[in-house]
Every structure is written in structure tokens, then in C-alpha cells.
Amino acid sequence: MRQGAFFSPSYRIDAMQLTLRILNASGDVIAHKTAHDEVVLVYQARYAEGDRLEIEAGEAGCQLAIAFDDAMPTALLYLTDKKGQFTVPFGDKRSGFSAKAFSGAVHRLKARLASREEISARRNLAFNPFDDGENSSLFPRGHANVETRQEAAFAARNAIDGEIASDGHGAWPYTSWGINCDPEASLTVEFGRLVRIDEIVLYLRADFPHDAWWESVTVTFPDGESVALATAKLAGAQRFPIEPRVAVRATLHKLVKAQDPSPFPALTQIEFWGNEA
């Protein structure tokens, strides 16, 4: 750099306004912060049951990098509405999260617009640690027709939270999707927009001999096309490259249990790898 030269910051004319809020059980805003393109909110108080964390963007249909808690990873999420919310977990729902998450009297929340490079990159399109049963606008999101005893430790959201420890079951980090021994169980991952998928990765729960496993599963897409996957008694990732296909959702079903005395096959994690369509 020549002597005396300097650079000044550039400002985007089309910058998007982002707002982070914390709302209590009555819906009152108890903390908020607004900024353009990137926003950080520091909240210096303990959460109370019923508190919700909210992100609002200037427009719907945008990709955001969000970390609602400093003890949890940042996730690239697609906001289908202008607002998205996450309810701070209490009671049984705490079992699905690290004890460090959402605890204490100082919290840091952050959100920013995703970069073009992040959006275009090949990645796990199913990853969302901030999904919960009330989420309707932050995608991806997971839901199932059955969950073991309706307990948070076995909820559908656990299959897309990024946690892959599979040699145990129950509370975090051994969360999983439990099917309550139902052979008709199915799990659907919604992407919120069209994505192109080229690989499916499964982590079957492997707390043997407590657990059984599936010897095959099927993934079906909205156009009716399906792929059958031959799975095995493994604790790690089982990777299945597929012919690339564009879809807005995918359903895991036809779970064929292996011949094993245990009645408890379960899924630790499902990943759909690909990019934006």
C-alpha cells in the first residue's frame, strides 16, 4: 500500500434491516436490537419459562446465518416469513439441549444475511439446531407421525440438530428420533423452498445391545419417486449418493427392522447434502 493510502467502508444501498427480539410468555418485548445485514443482541438476565427468541427480516424468503445462543452452532436457515421464532426450552424440552445452552444470566444472540458463497455452497440442507414443534417459518424443519412417548429426547427435531453421538440414548448429546416401536413411523424434512439433493447420510442410533437397527429404509420425494437405502449395524455415518433431484421435502419411511431381540431401532441424524435449486 502506498504511503497515505487508506480504505473507507462501503455501505450497501440495499442493506436489509434485521431485528432480534426476546419476548416473554405474554408476548411483551423485553429486549431487542435492530441493525442492517448483521445484528447482535446481548441480554443480561435469566430466561423465564415461555420466553421466545425472534428474528425479523426486512423481507421474506431470505437466507440467514443465525445463532440464538452462544453455546450453540450457527445455522444457515431459510426464513419463509418476515419473522421466525424459537421458544427457550424448559422442563422436558431441556433434555434436547446442552446444559450450557440458554443458561446463566448473560446471553448473546446474533443473526446476519448469509453470503452468496454460503448460499451457493454444497452443504447439509437439513441442519437446523433451532427447530422445535412450534417452528413454522425457519427452515429446514422436521416432523414425524410418531415420537416415543412424546418426549423431547426422542423428538423429530433431534434428527436434524447436528448431534451425531449415537452410542447412547436419552438426554443430550444422545438425542434421537424414537419411533415408539411403530413400523409405520415416518419422518419428513421440509426445506421451505426447492433444493437439489445429491446425497443422503444416516446415523442410526447404535446403543447396542439396547438398540436394534434397520436393514433398509426408503426416502420418498413429493413427485412420488423413492430411493431404497440398504442400512447396516453401524455407529457412524452411512452415506448414500443418489441421482440429483430437486425437491421441497423428503420423507423417511418403510423402516425395515433387522432380526434382533431389541425392539428399539432409532435415528440419531439424517442429512440431505446438495445445494440450492
Domain boundary residue, one of 95, 121, 147: 121
Summarize pLDDT for 2-27 with one digit per residue, the tens. Answer: 455 555 454 444 589 999 999 999 99
Domain boundary residue, one of 121, 149, 167: 121
Number of domains in the chain: 2
Position 78 in a domain: yes
Position 79 in a domain: yes
Percent of the chain with pLDDT over 70: 95
Q: Are residues 76 and 159 in the same domain?
A: no
Q: Going along 205-265, which residue ranges are E strands?
A: 214-220, 226-230, 238-257
Q: Are residues 271 and 146 in the same domain?
A: yes
Q: Are residues 70 and 111 in the same domain?
A: yes
**pLDDT greater than 70 at residue 1:** no
Q: Are residues 80 and 178 in the same domain?
A: no
**pLDDT greater than 50 at residue 90:** yes
Q: Are residues 113 and 217 in the same domain?
A: no
Position 130 in a domain: no
Q: Are residues 271 and 155 in the same domain?
A: yes
Determine what percent of the chain falls in helix, strand and coil, rounding each to the nearest 5.
10, 45, 50
Summarize pLDDT for 99-140 with one digit per residue, the tens. Answer: 999 999 999 999 999 999 999 999 999 999 999 988 999 999
d(CA 7, CA 9): 7
Q: Are residues 162 and 238 in the same domain?
A: yes
Q: Are residues 73 and 191 in the same domain?
A: no
Residue-averaged pLDDT of the chain: 95
Q: Are residues 45 and 96 in the same domain?
A: yes
Position 5 in a domain: no
Residue 31 backbone dihedrals phi, psi, to 5 degrees:
-165, 145
Position 8 in a domain: no
Task: Kindly list the distances between the CA atom of residue 141 and the CA atoms of 12, 71, 93, 188, 251, in Å, as whole numbers in the listed order.
Answer: 31, 21, 17, 8, 12
89-98 average pLDDT score: 96
Give the residue numbers spanning the domain of 31. Answer: 17-121
Q: Are residues 191 and 94 in the same domain?
A: no
Q: Are residues 152 and 272 in the same domain?
A: yes
Q: Are residues 257 and 144 in the same domain?
A: yes
CATH assignment of the domain containing 160: 2.60.120.260
